[in-house]
Chains A and B, each alone.
Chain A
Amino acid sequence: MNLASGVGGKIEKSQILSAVEKYEKYHVCHGGQEEERKANYTDMVNKYYDLSTSFYEFGWGQSFHFAHRWKGESLQESIKRHEHFLALQLGLKPGQKVLDVGCGIGGPLREISRFSSTSVTGLNNNEYQITRGEALNRIAGVDKTCNFVKADFMKMPFQDNSFDAVYAIEATCHAPDAYGCYKEIFRVLKPGQYFAAYEWCMTDAFDPNNEEHQRIKAEIEIGDGLPDIRLTTKCAEALKQAGFELIWEKDLAIESPVPWYFPLDTSRFSLTSFRLTAVGRFFTRSLVKGLEYVGFAPKGSLRVQEFLEKAADGLVEGGKKEIFTPMYFFLARKPESSDY
């Protein structure tokens, strides 16, 4: 029932079908242009998360990201470890003020805050996700020290040198321009402090002249609300251009004993990630179809399920061909002597 009532987020239930159609029009598969996606990224990303958040939470949990995974480790365990790894890389200490850029419903924010005893501010431009995050913060008991601000990460409402650490987990890929986004992060971070992120990127194996590669890239973009997926090298360049010292960077997907895309691969079966398997997908699709038919779920819900499934297929293909990674990791430092 949470899935049915949550579909569409803050969009009026009667408007969901038209919102799906508007969202789809932004993308290549439906004749949309990259420039239009970049120009209207706030609207596009907002529509995407209004439409998809309840599906994400239903199928994946509260942390909307992939993870490096050991054999014998469950998906949820790997997700937590992925978050702890980030906190350890940042060297977080109790009482520090930390910024989560593009925080979703705050799964990582809650985990990192509890793990490191820090005060984490979640920045998000989607009202439905923030409302959901606030409720989950209260349940987890971190609402005393963690908070959400509705804002745009291209223009953050904070003073220069405000935060002791900044992180982003599979979020800044939504930025229309990596340099502009990293420059804002650089501005609000205190000198000598660290910024760490997991980025969605196309790898060096991606061939822009290969039609199949282009199709996979387009499928991921429509299914995940992205204006344009950047190359790993472009992210590294943008960081340096923004003023950061790049401490280290690596595509963590390369050494993951269990491929990151396994939970989405319908050729596999898993009881722990049942909702993500072919049978689970069929079950969810039938459930959504039934709920939409009787009026519990709004019209257009099934369309959302379909474009999310298409994205999942694109992600699996991109992962298998090693042309895409959701975990290009980097740790960067703002120099002690900086203009801000």
Chain B
Amino acid sequence: MRLITHNMLSSNIKGVVNGFPLRIEAEKVVEKTVEMNGEFLKKMFEKIDWKAFVDASRAMGYTELPEEADSSMLDSDEFLNRFHHALLELHLEEGVLVCPETGRRFPVSKGIPNMLLHEDEV
């Protein structure tokens, strides 16, 4: 699971008000090189919740992203490279996503987040 996926996931358990962002507990992180596409990154930047993204990348062991960012930074190759690496090259292969409100743990196995709810959570 890449952080591009994590940034849109939310806990949708019955009664949960703030199910985003899910906290990452990483057991196995894999880095896979991906060719950079500046245009794609610029479009994705607008859609990303930056704080959740930074916290998630840190949970995956990557600390090179700035606390805050704005679109003017997309002109910097250094920033773009870091953004690209965190967004598309870091993979949570094994681990857990934790609901911030209930503590419910959603497993990530072989890179696939299992967000299925139990009957009593629907």
Contacts and interface: CB of A to CB of B under 8 A. Distances in A.
A262 interface: no
A157 to B, nearest CB: 4
Contacts, number: 74
A119 B41 CA distance: 11
A134 interface: yes
B59 interface: no
Nearest to B114: A150
Contacts of B10: 157-159
Interface stretch (A102-110, A123-131, A288-296): A123-131
Given A119-B44, A155-B122, A150 B113 contact: yes
A243 B86 CA distance: 37
Interface string B3-21: 0110011111000000110
A147 B43 contact: no
Nearest to A133: B112
Interface residues of B, number: 30
Interface footprint category on A = 20 to 34
A162 B5 CA distance: 11
Contact of B116 (A131, A144, A148, A152): A152
Nearest to A147: B5
Interface string A129-157: 01100100000000011011111101111
A95 interface: yes
A149 B39 CA distance: 25
A97 interface: yes
A19 B8 CA distance: 35
Interface in A87-133: 94-97, 117, 119, 121, 125, 127, 130-131
Given A95-B40, A155-B12, A149 B88 contact: no
A97 B8 contact: yes
B34 interface: yes
A18 to B, nearest CB: 23
A104 to B, nearest CB: 15
B117 A155 contact: yes
Interface in B1-55: 1-2, 4-5, 8-12, 19-20, 34-35, 39-40, 42-44, 47
B100 interface: no
Interface of A: 42, 94-97, 117, 119, 121, 125, 127, 130-131, 134, 144-145, 147-152, 154-159, 162
Given A97-B47, A117-B40, 18 more contacts: A95-B39, A95-B44, A97-B8, A119-B4, A130-B112, A134-B110, A145-B4, A147-B5, A149-B9, A149-B113, A150-B114, A151-B115, A151-B116, A157-B9, A158-B8, A159-B8, A159-B10, A159-B19
